[in-house]
Structure 1
Amino acid sequence: MRSLAEINDKITRKRAVVLTVEELKARVAEVGVTQVAKETDVITTGTFEPMESSGAIINLGHTDPPIKIRRAWLDSVPVYSGFGAVDLYIGASCAVEVTDGEEVRERGGGHVIEDLIAGKPVHVRAQGQVTDCYPRATFETTITRETINQFYLFNPRNLYQNFIVGVNGGDRPLFTYLGPLQPRLGNAVYSNPGAISPLLNDPELQLIGIGTRIFLGGGVGYVSWEGTQHFPLQKRLPNHTPIGPAATLALIGDAKQMDARWVRGCYFKSYGPSLMLGVGVPLPVLNEQVVERACVTDKDLVAPIVDFSIPRRVRPTFGLVSYAQLKSGRITIEGKTVRVAPLASMYLSRLVAQELKQWIEAGTFTLTEAVSPIPMERSFLPQDRWTEF
């Protein structure tokens, strides 16, 4: 029906018709797929959820005399320093390092990243490897995003195409990456926002590839590679959506252009720190099939209910449940009614899609051709060699 170049021309002339994915689904219910495909140029999707496999690259700039940093901490959070002399990588899920007698603080790399994006000062402490060209042994200072060179998010695994529902069939509370799970099926938690989630509206990643421009943390980002644990071969329904964790993406973007509203450090009790991140993906309406895939509803999407009380890689499940059931706030497991809560913020996920729509309508955000597709044949390899538990 139309090309990406034609869509971008309409965007730059501020004539593109843009719908959020929720608006699109409602419009399809009114006038059908064919009419919506004729009148729509871009669909915007969004999510705001924990993405702990995230982090930031920071270049401090050289000191005088120079230092070759080999150990460093940002606000007491250990950072990786095993490459360039003053290049650092801070992981979102790395916790504050405490010494004997210090109170454990519920803070980690995600909070430091948020603070830097917000323009707040962050304390740096570093130890160096003394060499002839790097004679300095230690360094301590305070930085902000304005006093460092590069500061960009590089996230190895974001945007799970689908995920699990966590429950606890045991007899004691469990503290997990989904939050607290109460014993004897006391509650259930899910993390994916369902029908508004980016990758569930392009289930075979025909519109998303390496180089796709996206909304990342309130700034412009890009898909840089397949994500870690990318598993597109997950079993799928007839509508091509996966029944559990499937595709993932690695993302990158300039953190100096981001907004702390969309990058928030968080902490899961007795589990550790993480990062809440807003990500929005635009889907160009190149043909009717794009609209057909994007009009999937929560009743057409499912996730597995997984019992965390079994401490194994492969845990038993209580079957599949639709996102429509999850969003009702109650599901039934073996005859028992179980209350359900999402980790993703549905409200903020909608706002991500709306803000991306506004960017496109204003002509400030055009779409990009992928330079290479995301592989769709990756298997998932576990580590099954026996080690003592």
Structure 2
Amino acid sequence: MAKTIEEINQKIRSGQAVVFTAEEIIGVVKEHGLKKTAALVDVVTTGTFGPMCSSGAYFNIGHTKPRIKLGGGKVSLNDVPAYAGFAAVDVMLGANALPEDDPRNRFHPGEFNYGGGHVIEELVAGKDIKLTATAYGTDCYPRKKLETWINLRDMNEAVLFNMRNAYQNYNVAVNLSDKTIYTYMGTLKANMGNVTYCSAGQLSPLLNDPMYKTIGIGTKIFLGGGEGFIAWHGTQFNPAVPRTESGVPKRGAGTLAVIGDLKQMSSRYLVGTSMLGYGVTVSVGIGVPIPILDEDVLRYTTVTDDDIFAAVVDYSDAYPNVKPEVVGEVSYGELKTGKVKINGREVPTASLSSYPRAREIAMILKDRITNGKFELTSPVAALPGIESGVKFKLLNERPINGEK
């Protein structure tokens, strides 16, 4: 018999909800079967933790005496530039932002960097951050310069807003050239000396709801240690990709735009991350609860790493030149053994995503639901489906003034 989210919430309030993680549910279904398990289980929790570059935060720092209009001026946080093109004291900081004159940010091999993702982590950790700003001054906002220390607790609002998180599958990266390269997929050794990947696989949220049956706009989630919501489909949302017979995408497909109160979050689940020779980002922890409304929803959550396949892409050539061909295809089950065979050759693998922390997030979300501290929300709108026509587009480059 089908259930509703409200019926599940009533069980959560009464302390009677039955919850398993996406890792645990695989064994439960093997033992009891789909029908019996669907009647018994109310929620399956998912989790992922890894670098998510399209992330950032916006802040309202409060008015100064006399007032200053940051909009139109320049603002930096710990010397990392923030965007201030909004109003008087609203600013936004991107996870990839870098100090303009920091000698660490020359991207030489062997050098790590400091940037926006680290500032976000330090704010969440309760550290004081140096705010420096200049403005042009107006009659109502006469102040032209500001230098002060700020802290997360003193801000009016501090909101994590990430445009593209929780990718539904992604590339597996190799380097077929004869020199080491430095990418957002990590350091890739020459002549296919290593393989890197970035997904929690069988714990990943959208791989447990591949057709977006329960996850949608308005879904409440675990975000960075606190609570957040899915605000929209993420940028580069691309559902119409090759899929397995069970609907699991074999290429990067759906993404999520997420939002939440930064003041609730933890530096364990928002971690500034340096990518050697490439730049900076922030590693984000996300967990999404999946209400088990019927057997079909449950079936999707039994996906295993052996069921999930990803494209192996050469980042020395095919990736930067946007070529569609791939080197091969491997399962996450293979990747997680520590080595894969590509073109008859055995290559060591490494993950940029932390599976142990993804498991931890799924367990925390499970505990919150079981203890009545986290109820589910019904989506207010669905994510675009395979037949929606939504797809990722390349830039249609049009030369300006005849330039090429």
Shorter-chain TM-score range: over 0.9
2:76 is the alignment partner of 1:73: yes
**In the alignment, which residue of structure 2 is the partner of 1:380?**
392
What amino acid sits opposite 2:83 in the alignment?
Y
The 1-side partners of 2:132 and 2:17 are apart by 49
Q: Deviations over 1:269-292 (max 9, x none)?
A: 110011111100000011111111
The 2-side partners of 1:239 and 1:341 are apart by 27
What amino acid sits opposite 1:253 in the alignment?
G
The 1-side partners of 2:244 and 2:227 are apart by 33
CA shift for structure 1 position 316: 3.7
Report the 3-state secondary structure (helix = DSSP H, G, I; strand = E; otherwise coil) of the residue aligned with 2:221: strand
**In the alignment, which residue of structure 1 is the partner of 2:352?**
343
The 1-side partners of 2:226 and 2:184 are apart by 26
C-alpha contact 1:307 1:315 (8 A) present in aligned 2: no
CA shift for structure 1 position 380: 1.3
What amino acid sits opposite 1:331 in the alignment?
V
Q: Deviations over 1:216-259 (max 9, x none)?
A: 00000000001000101112111111111100010000000111
The 1-side partners of 2:104 and 2:16 are apart by 57
The 2-side partners of 1:341 and 1:301 are apart by 17
Report the 3-state secondary structure (helix = DSSP H, G, I; strand = E; otherwise coil) of the residue aligned with 1:154: strand
CA shift for structure 1 position 97: 2.5
Counterparts of 1:257-276 in structure 2, within 5 Å, are 257-276=264-283
C-alpha contact 1:58 1:149 (8 A) present in aligned 2: yes
Counterparts of 1:145-164 in structure 2, within 5 Å, are 145-164=152-171
The 1-side partners of 2:153 and 2:303 are apart by 43
Report the 3-state secondary structure (helix = DSSP H, G, I; strand = E; otherwise coil) of the residue aligned with 2:249: coil
Report the 3-state secondary structure (helix = DSSP H, G, I; strand = E; otherwise coil) of the residue aligned with 2:211: coil
What amino acid sits opposite 2:332 in the alignment?
Y
CA shift for structure 1 position 98: 1.6
CA shift for structure 1 position 213: 0.2
The 2-side partners of 1:344 and 1:10 are apart by 33
2:92 is the alignment partner of 1:85: no
Counterparts of 1:220-239 in structure 2, within 5 Å, are 220-239=227-246
TM-score between both structures, scaled by the size of structure 2:
0.94
The 2-side partners of 1:129 and 1:207 are apart by 49
**In the alignment, which residue of structure 2 is the partner of 1:334?**
343
The 2-side partners of 1:17 and 1:322 are apart by 30
C-alpha contact 2:104 2:114 (8 A) present in aligned 1: no
2:174 is the alignment partner of 1:195: no
**In the alignment, which residue of structure 1 is the partner of 2:250?**
243
Report the 3-state secondary structure (helix = DSSP H, G, I; strand = E; otherwise coil) of the residue aligned with 1:195: helix
> Residues 171, 384 of structure 1: CA spacing in aligned structure 2 closer, same or farther, 3 A cutoff?
farther
Counterparts of 1:1-389 in structure 2, within 5 Å, are 1-69=2-70, 70-98=73-101, 102-104=103-105, 106-310=113-317, 311-314=320-323, 316-376=325-385, 377=388, 378-385=390-397
The 1-side partners of 2:252 and 2:138 are apart by 47
Report the 3-state secondary structure (helix = DSSP H, G, I; strand = E; otherwise coil) of the residue aligned with 1:162: coil
C-alpha contact 1:114 1:260 (8 A) present in aligned 2: yes
CA shift for structure 1 position 386: 6.2
The 2-side partners of 1:386 and 1:166 are apart by 30
> Residues 315, 309 of structure 1: CA spacing in aligned structure 2 closer, same or farther, 3 A cutoff?
farther
CA shift for structure 1 position 31: 1.5
| Paired-residue identity, % | 44
Q: Deviations over 1:153-199 (max 9, x none)?
A: 00000010110000000011110001100000000000011111110
Report the 3-state secondary structure (helix = DSSP H, G, I; strand = E; otherwise coil) of the residue aligned with 2:101: coil
Of residues 347-356 and 325-334 in structure 1, the stretch that sits farther from structure 2 once superposed is 325-334
The 2-side partners of 1:259 and 1:277 are apart by 10
C-alpha contact 1:235 1:243 (8 A) present in aligned 2: yes
CA shift for structure 1 position 313: 1.9
CA shift for structure 1 position 359: 0.4
What amino acid sits opposite 1:142 in the alignment?
W
Report the 3-state secondary structure (helix = DSSP H, G, I; strand = E; otherwise coil) of the residue aligned with 2:282: strand
The 1-side partners of 2:277 and 2:331 are apart by 29
Alignment size in residue pairs: 387
What amino acid sits opposite 1:35 in the alignment?
K
The 2-side partners of 1:46 and 1:103 are apart by 33
What amino acid sits opposite 1:73 in the alignment?
S
C-alpha contact 1:125 1:139 (8 A) present in aligned 2: yes
The 2-side partners of 1:319 and 1:77 are apart by 40
Q: Deviations over 1:133-171 (max 9, x none)?
A: 111111110011111110010000001011000000001
